[in-house]
Amino acid sequence: MTKILVIGANGQLGQSFQYWAPYFPNFKIFFEDLPEFNLLDRDQLVHYFKSTSINIVINCAAYTAVDLAEDQPEAAEQINTGAIDSLCQLSKSFGFKLIHFSTDYVFDGSAQTPYGEDDPLSPLGVYGKTKAAGEAVMQSAGIDGWIIRTSWLFSPYGKNFVKTIFSLLQNKDEIKVVADQTGSPTYALDLAAAILKALEHKPTFNGVKIYHYTNSGTTTWYGLALAIQQQINTHCKIHAVETAAYPTKAERPKYSVLSCEKIKKEFNLDIQAWELSLKDCLKKIG
């Protein structure tokens, strides 16, 4: 039986793996998070892997506060880059495969067609730069694993755009939402299921491979907010605004659509449209 460790188990992606675990009886899945499992505590990690035999580590832990990272670059670097280096060294020592999640923020958003896995990286802010550095560390570590880039993650768990807008629409008379950033929303439950299905394919791990996974279709944050409104009974008015009218510390990519053809073909995955996944998410929230 394949033994899988999910790190960052309490985040929205980690909780999505917890949701699916009972549906994959061929995997024995362990879930760990802070404070019992601290990616920055090397001794604690070594002790864990010495005492528990693990075949695959799925790292869902990350520093994802995009704007706060501009003020806390060291903290972002520790988790998004330094911790990946530790996991890579442990992978060498204990022989597990590493699956790590990255982001559309490794691109600058200047493209006009979907980004492929091999397109050059050009992150705009601290968050994107630390995630890109984490990718580079993993690619040069001489281990076997996957880097999965995703974008615009939402779920019934944790903090995310869909849950925030769902709440605002029911409690405000009007809200403003950015309409000039384009991307592909990704349902964390779909992403977690896709990874487990890919692992069921008995893939051959040979070096580090990069894959993109998002739900199919594209929209703007404004379009996503309108889609949420269509699913719930609310009289809140949604105003479309430009990014410039809603300044943030970290610059956002204007266009961050990721091409998912590689992962679809390699693992025969059928990726659902984001609108259908949004309906499922709102049912679970509501």
Three-state secondary structure call for residue 68: helix
Do 231 and 279 touch, CB atoms closer than 8 A? yes
How many residues make up the chain in this entry? 286
Closest by CA to 231, choosing from 152, 169, 149, is 169
Backbone angles phi, psi at 218, to 5 degrees: -130, 160
CA atoms within 13 A on the CB side of 70: 10
- Is 187 an active-site residue? no
Do 179 and 244 touch, CB atoms closer than 8 A? no
Give dist(CA 22, CA 24) in Å, integer: 6
Give dist(CA 19, CA 13) in Å, integer: 10
Give dist(CA 199, CA 264) in Å, integer: 13
Q: Which of 48, 63, 115, 127 is catalytic?
A: 127
Do 15 and 157 touch, CB atoms closer than 8 A? yes
DSSP state of 125: S
Give dist(CA 195, CA 13) in Å, integer: 11
Q: Which residues are catalytic?
A: 127
